[in-house]
């Protein structure tokens, strides 16, 4: 192979991200043989082994780590150039409507839309704040162009979707709580305290319920004292000593940075929760298609911004 093809690099990054040839093939909607061929071609080109097999899948080698960093830059720059050329041909404009659940709406959509608007300044966004289930229902009834949610359970076959971020579930407690100084806790420790929960259709609540069920804990053991409709209101209630709660690590990081709460890791919460942008399977308007392409290369940075004291 004398040249490097973009699809080979995309395949390589998919394997590096998923740590699995078969999972990467499913994600890319191709065969495992094609994935193996692309990786083999790259290894021939660079004359180096890019992956090593482990008990948990495959990991990148040192050479693979070098290529991963470079490949991400190459594909990002190519996408930027494509967007700029497309914009130069014909300015993309219009309104994109997004139904978004709490965590994507508060923590991902602002930077995602700002990045897109830096390339397409004539596009405006209308964001409809709903929980995950209602966001997906709004998309299904064509009331919005996209949904930004923390779960696609029950809708996997109905829509196309892209992962745009991920988070862990963490425990938050008041700053003076007896668990505040612990680095981690178990679910059995958590259920001893008054609990503040999200509403029934919340994606975060569904993930909490799944976590409990996977660890053979009855949902009825949670001592729910209060149900609230947003993560922000839960952070406020916990900071005032109304109870403890389990929320997104993204939201918890900002609450901790503001000195409102303390964050404690949950020992059983080992699998990150994925956050998605979801679209209908049909062809969309040009502006929406451009946004979808942008979402494919978007990388969320989970950083809490703290004002300088200077």
Question: How many other CB atoms are found less than 10 A from the CB of residue 289?
Answer: 13
The per-residue pLDDT for 209 is: 87
The per-residue pLDDT for 251 is: 84
Q: Are residues 158 and 13 in the same domain?
A: no
Using 70 as the pLDDT threshold, list the residues of the chain that sit under it.
Answer: 1-2, 86-90, 301-310
Q: Are residues 207 and 256 in the same domain?
A: yes
Last residue of a domain, one of 86, 103, 124: 86
CA 159 and chain centroid, separation: 17
Q: Are residues 119 and 143 in the same domain?
A: yes
**Residue 41 structural domain:** 6-86
* pLDDT tens, residue by residue, 245-286: 999 888 898 889 889 999 999 999 887 888 999 999 998 998
Tell whether 310 is covered by a domain.
no
d(CA 228, CA 251): 15
Tell whether 184 is covered by a domain.
yes
Tell whether 140 is covered by a domain.
yes
Q: Are residues 233 and 249 in the same domain?
A: yes
Q: Are residues 243 and 291 in the same domain?
A: no
Tell whether 307 is covered by a domain.
no
Q: Are residues 158 and 285 in the same domain?
A: yes
The per-residue pLDDT for 305 is: 47
Task: Output the domain CATH number for residue 104.
Answer: 3.40.190.10
The per-residue pLDDT for 15 is: 94
Q: Which residue has the tokens 């993309």?
A: 92
Q: What is the DSSP pairing of strand 94-100 with strand 223-228? A: unpaired
| Total domains in the fold of the chain | 3
The per-residue pLDDT for 303 is: 52
Tell whether 217 is covered by a domain.
yes
Tell whether 305 is covered by a domain.
no
Tell whether 1 is covered by a domain.
no
Q: Are residues 72 and 110 in the same domain?
A: no
Q: Which residue has the tokens 């997004």?
A: 98
Q: Are residues 287 and 162 in the same domain?
A: yes
* pLDDT tens, residue by residue, 121-153: 889 999 999 988 899 999 999 999 999 998 888
Over the chain, what HEC string results? CCCCCHHHHHHHHHHHHHCCHHHHHHHHCCCHHHHHHHHHHHHHHHCCCCEEEECCEEEECHHHHHHHHHHHHHHHHHHHHHHHHHHHHCCCCEEEEEEECHHHHHHHHHHHHHHHHHHCCCEEEEEEECCHHHHHHHHHCCCCCEEEECCCCCCCCCEEEEEEEEECEEEEECCCCCCCCCCEECHHHHCCCEEEEECCCCHHHHHHHHHHHHCCCCHHHCEEEEEECCHHHHHHHHHCCCCEEEEEHHHHHHHHHCCCCEEEEECCCCCCEEEEEEEECCCCCHHHHHHHHHHHHCCCCCCCCCCCCC
pTM of the complete model: 0.56
Q: Are residues 78 and 217 in the same domain?
A: no
Q: Are residues 25 and 42 in the same domain?
A: yes
d(CA 234, CA 228): 6
């Amino acid at each position: 192979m004398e040249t490097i093809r973009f699809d080979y690099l995309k395949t390589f990054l998919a394997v590096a991200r998923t740590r699995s040839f078969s999972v990467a093939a499913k994600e890319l909607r191709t065969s495992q043989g094609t994935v193996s061929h692309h990786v083999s071609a790259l290894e021939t080109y660079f004359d180096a082994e890019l992956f090593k097999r482990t008990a948990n899948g495959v990991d990148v080698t040192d050479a693979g780590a070098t290529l991963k960093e470079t490949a991400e830059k190459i594909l990002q720059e190519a996408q930027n150039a494509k967007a700029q050329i497309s914009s130069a041909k014909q300015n993309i404009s219009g309104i994109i409507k997004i139904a978004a659940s709490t965590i994507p709406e508060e923590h991902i959509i602002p930077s995602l839309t700002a990045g897109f608007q830096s390339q397409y300044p004539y596009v405006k966004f209308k964001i409809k704040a709903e929980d995950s289930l209602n966001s997906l229902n709004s998309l299904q009834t064509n009331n919005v162009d996209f949904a930004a949610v923390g779960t696609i359970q029950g809708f996997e076959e109905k829509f196309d979707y892209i992962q745009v971020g991920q988070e862990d579930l963490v425990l938050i407690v008041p700053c003076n709580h007896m668990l505040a100084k612990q680095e981690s806790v178990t679910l059995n420790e958590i259920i001893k305290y008054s609990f503040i929960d999200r509403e029934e259709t919340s994606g975060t609540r569904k993930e909490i319920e799944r976590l409990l069920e996977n660890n053979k804990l009855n949902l009825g053991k949670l001592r729910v004292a209060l149900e609230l409709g947003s993560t922000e209101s839960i952070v406020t209630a916990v900071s005032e000593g109304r109870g403890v709660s389990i929320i997104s690590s993204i939201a918890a990081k900002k609450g901790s940075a503001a000195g409102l709460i303390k964050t404690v890791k949950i020992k059983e919460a080992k699998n990150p929760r994925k956050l998605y942008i979801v679209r209908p399977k049909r062809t969309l308007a040009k502006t929406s298609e451009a946004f979808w392409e942008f979402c494919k290369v978007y990388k969320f940075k989970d950083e809490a911004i703290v004002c300088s004291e200077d």
